[in-house]
């Protein structure tokens, strides 16, 4: 197997993305990544982040890219988790990413970083480290109205992302049956 096949194996399940740290773990140097980019096999999309050139784009690619570019330990956060899963419509120009570390690198326009010291992704949705839906709903309270939060919770329950007890707690918090 060639080194590029190793890259392909990792990146294909990660929305076509691989970081230089992931490549290093495979025994692939930064110089080799740059060479693959020069040959047109990879595209450098940010500091230490590369994307496969020959790959069919997916709807969730922008979310995966935002998380990868925010660095180690980053995960999809708040309303962006709900948007990824199609629970409620949200502003597609903003992607919320949480990270336990300070992010100094330049990120794509629209990526909003929320620093959550000690925070960790609760799960993985569509190959993207993410906050669990019930927590994402609570995290989005300041930017999403209560009615939409309840809709997201109910849709999340219907799709299996929210457990019954979590739905009941969210309905109680956001005023089930009350005008919101």
Judgement on whether residues 77 and 115 belong to the same structural domain of the protein: yes
Task: With CA atoms as reference, report the closest residue to 27 among 14, 43, 42, 10.
Answer: 10
- Both 82 and 119 in one domain: the answer is yes
Residue 98 inside a domain? The answer is: yes
Nearest to 156 by CA among 148, 52, 1: 148
What residue numbers bound the domain in which 48 lies? 3-52
Contact (CB, 8 A) for 120 and 131: no
Q: How many separate domains does the chain show?
A: 2
Tens of pLDDT along 10-56?
A: 999 999 999 999 999 999 999 999 999 999 999 999 989 999 998 99
Torsion angles phi and psi, residue 111, rounded to 5 = -80, 125
Report DSSP state, residue 100.
S
Tell whether 158 and 96 lie within a shared domain: yes
| 74 and 144 share one domain | yes
Q: Are residues 19 and 68 in the same domain?
A: no
Residues 153 and 67 placed together within one structural domain of the fold: yes
Question: Would you state the pLDDT for residue 178?
Answer: 52
The pTM assigned to this predicted structure is 0.89
Segment 91-134, tens digit of pLDDT: 878 999 999 998 888 888 899 999 998 878 889 999 999 999 99
Residue 177: pLDDT over 90: no
Residue 180 lies in a domain: no
**CB-based contact 147:180 (threshold 8 Å):** yes
Answer yes or no: do 71 and 110 share one domain: yes
Together in a domain, 93 and 165: yes
The DSSP string of 24-88 is HHTT--HHHHHHHHHTTSEEEEETTEEEESSS---TTHHHHHHHHHH-TT-EE-THHHHHHTTSS
Same domain, 33 and 70: no
pLDDT in tens, 129-140: 999 999 999 999
* 65 & 14 share domain: no
Tell me the pLDDT band of 1, cut-offs 50, 70 and 90.
Answer: low
Sign of the alpha-carbon dihedral angle for 24, 30, 36, 37: positive
């Amino acid at each position: 197997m060639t080194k590029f096949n190793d890259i392909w194996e990792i990146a294909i399940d990660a929305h076509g993305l691989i970081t230089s740290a992931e490549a290093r773990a495979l025994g692939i140097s930064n110089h080799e990544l740059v060479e693959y980019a020069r040959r047109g096999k990879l595209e450098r999309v940010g500091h230490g982040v590369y994307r496969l050139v020959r790959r069919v784009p997916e709807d969730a690619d922008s979310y995966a890219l935002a998380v990868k570019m925010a660095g180690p330990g980053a995960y999809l956060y708040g309303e962006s988790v709900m948007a990824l899963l199609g629970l409620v419509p949200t502003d597609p120009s903003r992607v919320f990413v949480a990270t336990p570390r300070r992010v100094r690198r330049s990120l794509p326009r629209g990526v909003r970083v929320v620093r959550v010291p000690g925070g960790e992704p609760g799960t993985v949705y569509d190959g993207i480290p993410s906050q669990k839906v019930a927590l994402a709903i609570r995290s989005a309270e300041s930017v999403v109205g209560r009615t939409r939060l309840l809709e997201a919770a109910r849709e999340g329950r219907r799709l299996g992302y929210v457990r019954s007890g979590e739905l009941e707690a969210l309905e109680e918090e956001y005023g089930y049956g009350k005008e919101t």
